[in-house]
Amino acid sequence: MKRNFKIGIGLLWLILICRVSLNAQQLNIDSLIQITKTGVDDTNKVIAFRALCGATSNSNPQQSIDFGWRGVGLSKKLSWDKGTAGCLLNLSIAYSNLGKYDSSVLILDTALVYAKKVGEEKRISLIYINMASAYIYMGKLDNAMQVALNAVPYAEKSGDLDRQARVNMTIGNIYFYQEKWKNAENYYAKSIPLFEQLANENMVGVVTMNMSISQKNRNSLDTAEIYAYKSIEILERKNDIENLILAHTNLGDLLSYKKNYTGAEEQYQLSIKMAEQIGDYEQQVANKQSLGDLYFQMKKYPQAEKLLLPIYDSALVHGFYDEQFDIAGTLSALYAETGNYEKAFLFLQQLNVAKDTIDNRKQNEQLQALQEQYTANQREKEIALLNATNNLQQKEIERKNLITILLVVIFGALVVSGFVIWNRYTLKQQLKEVQLRNKIAADLHDDVGATLSSIKMYSEIIKSKGKDLQTEQDHLLNKIINNSSESIESMSDIVWMVKPGNDKFSSLNNRIKHFAEEICSSNNIALNTNFQPELAQLTLPMDMRRDVYLLIKEAVNNAAKYALATQIDIVITINNDTLQITVSDNGKGFDTSANVQGNGLSNMQARAAKYGGNCTIDSRSGMGTSVYVQMPVK
């Protein structure tokens, strides 16, 4: 995959903040542990815990967290605010290194309170910088900008050039993420001379590379190239191999964009060689992919194929799902260009498998982030509620996987048919069907996502109100249960709609009976159904089958919920290629002249009219209601 420089660079400068502190202290971990074992609870022991937390935050974050909380406990016992702020700051770094950014922000918020009580401008500015970094990783760029701007006056008041440089760089990075390139460059330009004063050439090289990427995105290609070569010169002088890999790849992308394919190839080869030198296998795969993409642009299809196929297999073995997705896309396009539609279709399938895996992984990460937020607040009732929601969402993911498997099976049948017929037209049709099913999967993802968002909202209401929620808790929990049930029912309807075995009207009969029996039994309503036997072998298009089902479903729902009926009759017949549907009840009825559009009549009429049919309603107060539908089926 093309490296996301913004993410890589953001990670780099967050880690560098940690490393600067550690290298300056030259910590002796064994000696510090010995201090913590003494029987005297004093500020020296707090300092030891704080130093141990910082020293192990990268190498062993879990151990770092233990040291940090022990330091916080002791400093609070001694009422030493400065020690509490320092321990909390290092503790937040350990949580960030574990990817627990919600927890890191909460801890930094608390550290800020203690640091402000002490009045340490230098530490306050660093807390704001680290908090902005955590918000960037969480994708909350507005929050990141707000806290980064809060850091500016404290950094200036402290007189510390490093803090001032990092604040400007952080704001520049936020604008970078927002794709506000000119603003990003303005702040990068402020940070570079400060880092130069500090002789911190590594950071000068990194920020200069960011400037190059920003200029490239603004299509100022010549200026971008100047910055790219400058960043490489600086990083080569410092022998910073990790960042040199990114810098050479950035220059390769730039030269490729300028159609300087020879120069781009040279830069990618350098990146690959350096990645091999430090044993960074993922960077090797990523840079080889960039080179393969370059060969594809140059229409050197055999060279591209020879390079991409092995690294695709490597991405599969190592679980590099993003690389799988991008390489499969390039290979699919390559084979389509060369007329090998069989392989083009095969890699398009692999692309979809990788996409589903990435989507599921993102959903799991979101669920984990929610879990961490509740754990940080240490509210047992809210944690229990979150776990219930987590399990429900996991079931939804499993259902989505089942649908994906079903679609893959259907595609497999199509592929077999394509091999038997063995002609290009059939293969092209199969490629089109892949796109159609992607759209169905996307629609399903959006529907379920909206419902899960409402579940999260109600959960957060319970969390925010806490003990004051006694009278509303059952209502909100019922809201969560109802929304979950609606999501499950929506997924069930979509699976039934797309399943080929359900094309016959007999399948529609069974689904109508199942739904009607379920709603009638729960409301103590007698149900009578009369479906003409000749309907069993009738085949309806997928959309029409869905609309007939939803039309009857809406009519039955209206009768069960509003009519106070004790009996519902459903009659379906076919006469002269016209489907005739009647749903009647013995309920209280209503005055149609007073509310012509009531009870979802407009929705039912629209569904019937869509196929050249009509829907009418006959009802009088106290005389029940009948819905009549006629729809041509040929």
What is the layout of strands, in order, in the sheet containing 526-531? 526-531, 567-575, 578-585, 625-632, 614-619
Judged by average pLDDT, the poorest of 25-39, 307-321, 605-619 is: 25-39
Structure tokens at 119: 């009045």
Equal CATH topology for 200-207+214-279 and 505-632 = no
Angle between helices 29-36 and 43-55 (to 10 degrees): 140
Give which of 31, 66, 71 is closest to 49, Cα–Cα: 71
Residues forming a β-bridge with 527: 568
Residues with Cβ < 8 Å from 101, sequence gap 6 or more?
95, 134, 135, 137, 138, 369
Give the pLDDT mean for 371-376: 55
Q: pLDDT tier at 2 (50, 70, 90 boundaries)? A: very low
pLDDT per residue as tens digits for the range 534-589: 888 888 887 888 888 888 988 898 888 888 889 999 999 988 889 999 999 998 88
Give the pLDDT mean for 235-250: 92
Give the pLDDT mean for 5-20: 40
Given this structure, which CATH class describes domain 505-632? alpha beta
pLDDT per residue as tens digits for the range 93-142: 999 989 899 999 999 999 999 999 998 899 999 999 999 999 998 889 99
Which residue do the tokens 């029987």 mark?
Answer: 39
Pair 287, 275: CB distance under 8 Å: yes
3-state secondary structure of 584: strand
Q: Which CATH fold topology does 200-207+214-279 show?
A: 1.25.40
The pLDDT of residue 429 is 57
Pair 50, 83: CB distance under 8 Å: yes
Highest mean pLDDT among 19-23, 283-287, 418-422 belongs to 283-287
The pLDDT of residue 470 is 58
Residue ranges of domains in the chain: 200-207+214-279, 366-498, 505-632
Q: pLDDT tier at 14 (50, 70, 90 boundaries)? A: very low
Structure tokens at 459: 């959960």
pLDDT per residue as tens digits for the range 255-290: 999 999 999 999 999 999 999 999 988 888 889 989
Give which of 515, 522, 590 is closest to 554, Cα–Cα: 515
Residues forming a β-bridge with 571: 530, 582
Distance CA 452, CA 369 (A): 15
Spell 252-272 as b/e; 16+ CB within 10 A means b.
bbbbbeeeeeebbbebbebbb
Average of per-residue pLDDT values in the chain: 82
Distance CA 553, CA 583 (A): 10
3-state secondary structure of 149: helix
Distance CA 191, CA 337 (A): 47
